Amino acid sequence: MAKVLVIGGAGYIGSHVVKALMKGGHEVCVYDNLSTGQEVNLFKQNRFIKADILDYEALVKAMQGQDAVIHLAAKKAVGESMENPMKYSTNNITGSLNILNAMVEAGTKYMVFSSSAAVYGMPKVEVIDESVPTEPINYYGFTKLEIEKFMQWYDRLKGIKFVALRYFNAVGYDEDGEIRGREVNPQNLLPIIMEVYEGKRDKLKIFGNDYPTRDGTCIRDYIHVSDLASAHVLALEKLMSGMASQSLNLGTEKGTSVKEMVEAVEKVKGCKIPVEYAPRRAGDPAALIASAKKARELLGWKPEFTDICRIVKTQA
Ligand code: UD1
């Protein structure tokens, strides 16, 4: 059993991580400023601190007596990061440095960090393992990569052991329906398709149907949020039993095209989703599929949600 401070624990991925930690018998304290996280995502059993990662004193206080930190607090809109880099420098980079410094001050030794496949940019290969060069093409991805580098230095200098989990495309919600908060104004493919289904939008714009893929639309590796969550718990437990610091991909190792995602929603919901083909979106690689061999081998992790229809069923 570990005492874990989950920073960003009221958010989409954080709330699923909290549930998985509790299931694993760990003691959780959630730290969140509720800017995008939601109170409805908090579990009553846990301590909750409403504070910002830019508040260094609050972080040091919250860190007292904690064995480990899981850090999921970040701004994550790729487009916005290109227009307002300062917001991402401050929240993602300064905020994460505050967390690392507070860990040093409080003597907390372990950190699991939510990184992203965005650190790879536009890789030349389709299947991506951790040896693929990290060359982010958006500022959001750059902030995630820089934080990974800071963690490497804090490991060397201060002995903080970390796992950076590079998520591919996170999707779905808790299958038991226990986590009820839904993202406001979602920007990602599956929640947008669901909004079309619910009548909140007229149609889905498919960005590009002339990619060199099986049906011309982009291929991504959609990984269920509960599978991401279980990887955080395993990463924490392995770190605490002596595993060296690591960066690990998390994906299903299976690609789904935009069209296939639309078809899955149509099948699950028994409806027709109106679509319109639009030009390619800047910065979209044709296909991004994870090799998660390293996570499988080092953590003993295996995604449970490999069927896209099962994933879609959890989304509503
Ligand atoms: C990107 C980031 C990812 C980040 C996520 C958060 C990269 C490599 N990945 O993923 O790290 O966590 O954003 O926002 O930078 N699409 C449409 N129509 C739409 C919306 C999406 O056709 O209305 C298509 C996109 O072109 C893409 C796929 O659906 O091919 C998935 O898009 P999206 O959900 O935005 O995620 P990514 O851009 O893959």
pLDDT in tens, 147-188: 999 999 999 999 999 999 999 999 999 999 999 888 888 889
Contacts for 226 with CB less than 8 Å, ≥ 6 apart: 16, 20, 172, 174, 175, 304, 305
pLDDT band, residue 69 (cuts 50/70/90) = very high
Beta bridge partners of 163: 112, 246
Pocket test for ligand 1, best of 128, 142, 166, 169 (most atoms within 8 A of CB): 169
Q: What are phi and psi of 148, to 5 degrees?
A: -60, -40
Residue 206 Cα: closest atom of ligand 1: 22
Instruction: Record the tokens describing residue 180, joined without a space.
Output: 């009820």
Question: Alpha-carbon torsion 189, 191, 192, 193, what sign?
Answer: positive
Percent of the chain with pLDDT over 90: 94
Instruction: Answer yes or no: is pLDDT of 316 > 80.
Output: no
Residue 265 contacts residue 194 (beta carbons within 8 Å): yes
188 Cα–ligand 1 center, Å: 6
Pocket of ligand 1 (CB under 6 A): 76, 78, 116-118, 138, 141, 169, 187-189, 192, 204-207, 218, 220, 258, 281, 284, 288
283 pLDDT more than 90: no
CB proximity list for 20: less than 8 A, separation 6 or greater = 226, 229, 230, 232, 233
230-242 in b/e burial notation, b at 16+ Cβ within 10 A? Answer: bbbbbbbbbbeee
Give tens-digit pLDDT for 228-257. Answer: 999 999 999 999 999 999 999 999 999 999
State phi, psi for 29 to the nearest 5 degrees.
-125, 125
Residues acting as catalytic residues: 140
Give the whole-angstrom CA distance, residue 238 versus residue 120: 25
How far does CA 92 lie from the centroid of its chain?
Answer: 14
Distance, CA of 5 to CA of 70 (rounded, Å): 6
What are the pLDDT digits (tens) for 184-207?
A: 888 899 999 999 999 999 999 999
Ranges of beta strands (E only) in the chain are 3-7, 27-32, 47-50, 68-71, 110-116, 127-128, 161-167, 169-171, 204-207, 219-220, 222-224, 246-250, 256-257, 275-278, 287-290
Place of tokens 């947008």: 192
Measured in Å, residue 208 CA sits from the centre of ligand 1 at 12
Nearest CA to ligand 1 atom 14: 77
- Check residue 170 and give its pLDDT: 97
DSSP, res 291: -
Structure confidence by residue, pLDDT tens digits, 107-134: 999 999 999 999 999 999 989 999 999 9
Report which ligand 1 atom has the smallest distance to the Cα of 280: 26
What pTM does this model have? Answer: 0.96
Task: Specify whether the CB–CB gap between 308 and 189 falls below 8 A.
Answer: no
Task: Give the percent of the chain with pLDDT over 70.
Answer: 100
